Amino acid sequence: MTGLVRFEHDGVVGALVLNRPTKLNALSRELLRDLIAACEAANRVATLKVIVVRGEGRAFSAGFDLTDAVTADEHLDARGAADLGRRATDALEQVRAVTIAAIRGHCVGGGVVLASACDVRIAAADTRLSIPEIDLGLPLTWGAVPRLVRELGPARTRELVMTGDPFSADDAERWGFVNRVVPNEDLDQAVAELARRLAAKPAIGLRATKQQVAMAASEMASTHHADADAVYLVAAQRDPEARAIAADYLTRRSR
């Protein structure tokens, strides 16, 4: 691990911290590899019951790091690189402990995907979410669509992914994506209180419930074939129209 994800714990409560605050915790390939390693480390702590997942600083995550983007022309293993986000998201979803996402500031694209892999989500009132991948000339991958369908339903998922429109923490709560919205200054306390309450309960009950819900959710919308997402991503990286749209989007955003 390179320190881009910190894993901390006191025995029963832990934290996975995305640790690139100067980049709003943008998800580089290095960070995603660290996240996989941190999830593996968490699973080795037998006493761990609850993990808080948060971003260091003022944002949860600004999404995939566009400066770290891999194109098919630059790397022979483009599909493997494209699949890294799916493996990191799966690793987070499959952590044995109950995961609570503490969301504040920017939660964009891949950040929304990571949040969707957590068991419970609490958002600060200032949270702004969006899924801009199509405007970047890319399909939404990482097994995101099945997870969003589970939480938001098919119609809302289509709308948010296809339009890329931003939405607020209150919208996310109303649509069922986040469990609760709290004032910005209360986020850490609210998350810590919930973590303490859950950690006081029997581990067997927490893990059984987590697994039962996961099995039911998988029947609603399975991520078992999400590794095929990488095929769409590699195709988009080679598509002239998609590349032109992405270039135009980045030019407009930089003005």
Total count of domains within the chain: 1
Does residue 184 sit within a domain? yes
Contact 16, 6 (CB under 8 A): yes
Q: How far is CA 58 from the centre of its chain?
A: 16
Residue 245 lies in a domain: no
Cα–chain-centroid distance for residue 171? 18
Tell whether 120 is covered by a domain: yes
Is residue 243 a part of any domain in this protein?
no
Sheet containing 167-168: give its strands across. Answer: 106-108, 128-130, 167-168
Whether residue 235 lies inside any domain: the answer is no
In a domain, residue 152? The reply is: yes
CATH number assigned to the domain comprising residue 77: 3.90.226.10
Q: Do 35 and 3 meet the contact criterion of CB atoms below 8 Å apart?
A: no
Residue 56: inside a domain: yes
Residue 105, phi-psi category: left (phi > 0), alpha (psi -120 to 50), beta (remainder): left
**59 within some domain:** yes
For residue 120, which of 180, 208, 189 has the smallest C-alpha distance? 180
Cross-strand pairs, 236: none
Contact between residue 41 and residue 190 where contact means Cβ atoms under 8 Å apart: no
Tens-digit pLDDT string for the chain (255 aa): 789 999 999 999 999 999 999 999 999 999 999 999 999 999 999 999 999 999 999 999 999 887 775 444 444 455 676 789 999 999 999 999 999 999 999 999 999 999 999 999 999 999 999 999 999 888 999 999 999 999 999 999 999 999 999 999 999 999 999 999 999 999 999 999 999 999 999 999 999 999 999 999 988 888 877 777 878 877 887 888 888 887 787 777 666
pTM: 0.92
Strands 120-124 and 128-130 turn out to be unpaired
Domain hosting 109: range is 5-199
